[in-house]
Chain A
């Protein structure tokens, strides 16, 4: 007997709850934006500039000792946190205004660390100047904006403008909530998180396109059906696939989250969140928006790509 996670012929009235879902989404988005503006992100040195030292030691490191030793140096903002193991610590020091000053600060920080710990293993060292970090911020924002725009054009071209707008609103929803997660959890926001967000964009889109494809097909097939029922039918028909794919992706991601090491944990956390949010948004953002945008059957040309003839 084969495993069936989703029973055949589900008739869940997803869109019956669309108002609740929309309100919840709106609240979450506003909360994310609020958190972002009120608390900001815990920017990694990729974006904030400054110095990062990832150190290892033979015994567990007392974070308090490290912090007070570094505070004595008066280097401005510093953060000290355990990194995966008690023997490993991640230290971040604010940029000192110039690359030369950063270098001196790094040397004095190392001396202070060796003063309290003795032998220190420098696992990673990074120093990013203000100029480069500024460019990385701009490139990161550009990458996300361009990706969303390119996708809008593609979907517009392949479907109708309603679908393009729906997909993009769903994407904005996903991106905002992901940023909200980072503002809430204070997980470090660095370059690899931009990669994660772009992948979430890709994944969420993938999911949205699958549902949209079915909606387009059904619009041609069931010419008299109420639009809300048609959307529900399409979501139910693709539900099994949605669950299967989300699950296999989550299996792979959880394996990475648990066994992949501390360095990419933030990245995988973002991705896992993205899979949930992206799946949810295809059902509750991308689809109901078509109703609000008053998608008409006349908007769908009978010819056009895909779907095949009604059977």
Chain B
């Protein structure tokens, strides 16, 4: 067990050297890191939000709403298709899980059925190379047709909605301009947002941000508004800043333009009154539609609706041709800025709910880092003193290995881009205590071997080989626990599992291989007659 080939020694030293290089950036200033040659690793250990402060949010995309919206659109599609083809039918209805329509005349049924089947869109599964329809059209008897979304159709809509939401949330976070935010998908319908160093208002992410422009419906009078009775083509929105004091307004359901037609939104001031407002720019399609609508409706009001609430309803004084418009409401400079950012990032395809929110102030994070460091150093020194007292020269080798072990952990954490959390620091401190275990096992075995009368070389060699199975069994079982922790853990627990796993691997390396190399070099150069363990 004490003979090392040159190659082996080279590999061991290379691992140690590489560990030192990987750990190096953590003790350098940013300038010094920049000046490192390209081949050197430059990553530092990332501190978790609990250590550097920041906000953690878990948002869930409301997939039921996505499916609901899809059925609402499907109802419109069915109605429009039948109308366009002059097929008379009872108005189609949706119960949230299917669309039902009854065709009036028997002779139209066949044609209607085929037309509705044409509404389907194929979903191609690129892996299985098969194509499925997103809807299923069924004959329910009695001239009734039922249209339902297939599981594939639902899955695709849901996935699209989650991906789009992720994109929008990412853009909104980017608008904040904070350092290294992370926005990632978690599970099938959740979005995990982590913003270091900043306290983020979740409302900023949850707002749908759907902007639409609608013409006012002048056929609806105040009594109809109060009773909430409006024709099907119209819809009532709340209007909190209504100058007429009613607080609600009926508008045509079909929007002139929507936020999807925006290319830019910027806060600004009204040139005459100096009141804050938001300037928006439409894309070509939006500009044409807006010009068309405004030129036809001079003198009438249109409503600017954000998330089902009217911000303002200005009167069209003249046709607006340039594709630029401004939204004035009762904005402050701040709220005009916020709305601009919201509009630039686009609207969410579905509502988001906040499921989990944690924020840590930067002071507490810094305190935790300081306390963790302090605990690690004190624990480290105390363990080393104890080891020297117990094992003398052998303890020295174990301590040297322990120091190298710490460097290797730091190097591995930096290279893997793992996040160091507060429980992670605890994991490292625990590793200090447990790393010694492998050496203790070996040293106790060596003591036994010496007692049996073996000469130093044989005693040390046997000590290592006898202890080996125990060391492996003991560490593999702990590693199993750590891996399961990683699998089922979230946030801080995962951070702990990562450092614990890394610690187990590096400590077996340093405590078994490194100390053995050190002792082998010492024994071979000095050839002591007796050894004290």
Binding site for B on A (CB under 8 A): 2-5, 8, 54, 56, 99, 103, 121-129, 131-132, 136, 139-140, 142-143, 146-147, 150-151, 154-155, 158, 191-192, 194-195, 198-199, 201-203, 205-206, 209-210, 213-214, 237-238, 240-241, 244-245, 247-256, 258-261, 263-264, 267-268, 271, 305-308, 311
Contacts and interface: CB of A to CB of B under 8 A. Distances in A.
Contacts of A205: 474, 477-478, 481
Given A2-B532, A54-B364, A139 B356 contact: no
A251 B363 contact: no
A201 B429 contact: no
Interface in B457-507: 465-466, 468-470, 473-478, 480-482, 484-485, 487-493, 496-497, 500
Is the interface on chain B under 10, 10 to 19, 20 to 34, or 35 or more residues? 35 or more
Contacts of B468: 306
Interface stretch (B38-46, B99-107, B444-452): B444-452
B437 A245 contact: yes
A254 B476 CA distance: 25
Contacts of A249: 430, 433-434, 437
Contact of B488 (A8, A139, A267): A139
A128 B390 contact: no
A146 B423 contact: no
B224 to A, nearest CB: 31
Contacts of A214: 470
A3 B387 CA distance: 9
A70 B39 CA distance: 58
Contacts of B484: 143, 146-147, 150, 198
B222 to A, nearest CB: 32
Contacts of B440: 241, 244-245, 248
Contacts, number: 243
Given A195-B493, A203-B434, A147 B355 contact: no
Contacts of B372: 260-261
Which of B353, B382, B488: most chain A CB closer than 10 A?
Answer: B488
6 contacts: A56-B363, A123-B364, A129-B353, A143-B488, A150-B484, A206-B475
A139 B496 CA distance: 16
Given A4-B390, A245-B434, A143 B363 contact: no
Contact of A147 (B383, B480, B490): B480
Given A146-B487, A154-B480, A252-B430, 6 more contacts: A123-B360, A132-B356, A139-B489, A205-B478, A206-B478, A248-B434
Contact of A127 (B357, B363, B371, B497): B357
B481 A147 contact: yes
A256 B493 CA distance: 17
A251 B426 contact: no
A256 B375 CA distance: 5
A244 B375 CA distance: 20
Which of A99, A131, A255: most chain B CB closer than 10 A?
Answer: A255
A281 B492 CA distance: 28
A194 B468 CA distance: 30
Contact of A203 (B355, B383, B478, B493): B478
Contacts of B425: 260, 264
A202 B477 contact: yes
A202 B433 contact: no
Contacts of A307: 469
Nearest to A55: B361
Contacts of A311: 452
B120 interface: no
Contacts of B448: 237
Interface in B37-76: 50, 58, 60
B258 interface: no
Interface in B63-117: none
Contact of A251 (B368, B386, B480, B497): B386
Which of B386, B475, B477: most chain A CB closer than 10 A?
Answer: B477
B284 interface: no
A206 B430 contact: no
Chain A interface secondary structure, helix, strand, loop or mixed?
Answer: helix
A124 B364 contact: yes
Nearest to B394: A2
Contacts of B162: none
B423 A267 contact: yes
B375 A260 contact: yes
Which of A56, A103, A128, A143: most chain B CB closer than 10 A?
Answer: A143
Given A150-B480, A240-B444, A209 B434 contact: no
A248 B383 contact: yes
B477 A198 contact: no
Contacts of B532: 2
Given A125-B359, A155-B477, A264 B433 contact: no
A215 B429 CA distance: 31
Given A147-B480, A261-B367, A192 B392 contact: no
A305 to B, nearest CB: 6
Nearest to A200: B481
B438 to A, nearest CB: 9
Contacts of B367: 261
Given A203-B434, A259-B375, A3 B389 contact: yes
7 tightest A-B CB contacts, nearest first: A306-B469, A249-B433, A255-B379, A261-B371, A252-B433, A143-B488, A202-B478
Contacts of A238: 444
B422 interface: yes
Given A54-B364, A250-B433, A210 B480 contact: no
Contact of B493 (A194, A240, A254, A308): A194
A2 to B, nearest CB: 5
Contact of B481 (A155, A201, A268): A201
Contacts of A210: 441, 470, 474
Contacts of B436: 244-245, 248
B229 interface: no
Contacts of A143: 484-485, 487-489
Contacts of B470: 209-210, 213-214, 306
A113 B354 CA distance: 24
B444 A241 contact: yes
A273 B156 CA distance: 50
B357 A147 contact: no
Contacts of A251: 379, 382-383, 386, 433
A128 B356 contact: yes
B358 A8 contact: no
Contacts of B488: 139-140, 142-143, 146
A252 B50 CA distance: 22
A237 B451 CA distance: 13
Given A2-B392, A154-B480, A209 B356 contact: no
A311 B359 CA distance: 61
Contacts of B379: 251-256
A5 B60 CA distance: 56
Contact of A99 (B50, B353, B364, B423): B353
A124 to B, nearest CB: 5
B244 to A, nearest CB: 30
B432 interface: yes
A156 B244 CA distance: 80
B416 interface: no
B429 A198 contact: no
Contacts of A308: 465-466
